[in-house]
Amino acid sequence: MNNRLILIALVIALFTACNSDDYDAPNSFSDVSWYTSGFRDTIVSVSVNDFASFSDLSQGEISHKWTIEQGSYFLEGPIKRKDSIYDDFIIKPESLESTDKTVHVLFKEGGLKKVNLYNEFKEYVEFKGADGFVFPSKEVGGKWVIDTTFVVDVYDTIVPQILIRQNGVVVPHELESDVITVEAGSELEFVDITTIGRPNTRAWQIGDITSTDSLAVIQLNQLGSFKAALNISRLGENIPADYDRYNVAATINVVPSSLPFEVAGDLVELENQTIQIPYNGEFKPFADQKAHFTVNVNGTPFTISSIGLNSSNATILEIKLQDQIYRSDNITVSYDGNGTLESTDTRIPAAFTDLPVQMYQHEAVRYDIEDGGVNWTTKDDNLPTTTVAPSTEQAASGQYSIKVDAAESGAWSGFHNLIDQYTLTAGVTYQLEYKIYKQAGAVINMNGPWIQKDGETVFQFWNNIVATAAEDTWVTVSPGQRFTAATTGSDYEIYLRHNGMGVIYFDDIRIMEVDERP
């Protein structure tokens, strides 16, 4: 803390070292300079109840004065390195002005505070700062005045404030007698509403669950009584650090759920061919359950290799099959309800039949246009009567698509992604898929999608699916061609075009690794 005093003293010593005892500077010499413990920072930052140092290094001034605001205090040393409470160093009687060349100012209130330096000279002077900055004196009443104000950002001590919400309603948590009762599988919202002290990092801890979100939505699955806490801090370069811990007084009591124990979302395949089944509660450890599940692949039962729990989330069942599966497969899962599965709050899962699995897509890139189409560029050889622009008139997903409106045919109307390029890997085989919405009246015989690499064509997916595509509805286009990348690169592009006329929309454009059952 008191290294600032040492640094200020060193600067003053360096500034005056050139004046030897046997040399007197001319009386007419005037100059202006200053130094602060914030160094080159435009705004000096300190914690509340801490101090900053300011030194006037000017020479030849007629008068000199520092002025501070109410809630700030001049200190008098010596202040030792171990000192952390500075009230005993406040100069008495207290004053808001000082004529000392170097002042140390204690700030006892948070917010933006001002320290003013007012010097008078008999001749013109100017302060020369970094990057060519010049602060000239102004003539006032026949004297040349330097009147400058330093801004000090005083950070308050962090005072944590939180809310806890259950089903959207704020619940009391301040007293030891407060009890928040939650059914297993339900959620609580923990909201950091701290403003005093300007924290920028936080960590919630609820039992063994953690979150760093300012609004943490915590699902509570384990039965029992738990305490919560918020660790909150202020960290960063050139700002004073601070930390506090808020222990929630209330007890969180998790009781068995009154809801059925059931599947709580889509069944999905992961990249490693694991099938995940999410539930609305945690499972107890269990023995082999393979005999009670059936996985049909394209209508045929496949042998289950294992059934277990996700290693980091006990609400998710994971199924591995003995044989390989592919994106093109139609997979369903059934459970007969006769196993020994049980939730941690003693509920028994019900049977289910033929729930579909969302297959892993092996996408190299997917453009859903939800960025407003900023990465797509109109081709420079388009017909002048063609317009290409993002649109909210139609969308296969989200809100946006690319609208191509060709008033006439005979030449190309197209667009490509020169900004947001993508990566393909050498030796991997890819396929293209996109969705089109052909407006009634459009006459388009073909699409010419290309893969480009840094502007150069490397593969074409010519197809005429658009010619017979249904009008005024979204149609998925999956050309039959396959492309094997010759080189790995992050400068691949997609170019889509046609030579017809009318309005057509494009959306959900994607390049995928080929993953089809042989």
Query: In the prediction, which pLDDT does 29 show?
Result: 55
Is 365-513 a CATH 3.40.50.720 domain?
Answer: no
pLDDT digits (tens, 9 = 90+) for 400-418: 999 999 999 988 899 999 8
Q: Which SS3 state, helix, strand or coil, does residue 421 take?
A: coil
Q: What is the pLDDT along the chain (518 residues), one digit of tens a residue?
A: 454 444 444 333 333 333 333 333 334 456 888 888 877 677 899 999 999 999 999 999 999 999 999 999 999 978 888 888 999 999 999 999 999 999 999 999 999 999 999 999 999 998 887 777 888 999 999 999 999 999 999 999 999 999 999 999 999 999 999 999 999 989 999 999 999 999 999 999 999 899 999 999 999 988 999 999 999 999 998 899 999 999 999 999 999 999 999 999 999 999 999 999 999 989 999 999 999 999 999 999 999 999 999 999 999 999 999 999 999 999 999 999 999 999 999 999 999 999 999 999 999 999 999 999 888 989 888 889 999 999 999 999 999 999 999 999 988 899 999 888 999 999 999 999 999 999 999 999 998 899 999 888 999 999 999 999 999 999 999 999 999 999 999 999 999 999 899 999 999 999 999 999 99
Q: Using CA atoms, how far apart are residues 444 and 477, in angstroms rounded to an integer?
A: 14
Q: Among 201, 189, 197, 208, which residue's Cα sits nearest to residue 232?
A: 201
Angle, CA 84 vertex, CA 80 and CA 89 arms, to 5°:
65
DSSP β-bridge partners for residue 233: 201, 243
Q: What is the DSSP string of 161-226?
A: -EEEEETTEE---SSTT-EEEEETTEEEEEEE---TT---EEEEEETTEEE--SEEEEEE-S-EEE
Could you tell me the fold of the domain covering 162-255?
Immunoglobulin-like (2.60.40)
The answer to whether 3-155 and 267-360 have equal CATH topology is: yes
Q: Which SS3 state, helix, strand or coil, does residue 87 take?
A: helix
Element (H, E) at 3: helix 3-16
Query: In the prediction, which pLDDT does 30 show?
Result: 65
Half-sphere exposure (Cβ direction) of 184: Cα atoms closer than 13 Å: 22
> What tokens appear for 155 in the block?
């950070």
Residue 452 DSSP code? E
Query: In the prediction, which pLDDT does 5 show?
Result: 45
Q: Using CA atoms, how far apart are residues 309 and 345, in angstroms rounded to an integer?
A: 16
Backbone torsions φ then ψ of 122, nearest 5 degrees: -90, -10
DSSP β-bridge partners for residue 294: 334
How do the domains of the chain map onto residue ranges?
3-155, 162-255, 267-360, 365-513
Show Cβ contacts of residue 282 under 8 Å, excluding neighbours closer than 6 positions: 184, 221, 222, 314, 315, 343, 344
Q: Which is the CATH superfamily of the domain at 3-155?
A: Immunoglobulins (2.60.40.10)
Where does 267-360 sit in CATH, by number?
A: 2.60.40.1220
Half-sphere exposure (Cβ direction) of 183: Cα atoms closer than 13 Å: 11
Q: Using CA atoms, how far apart are residues 464 and 478, in angstroms rounded to an integer?
A: 11
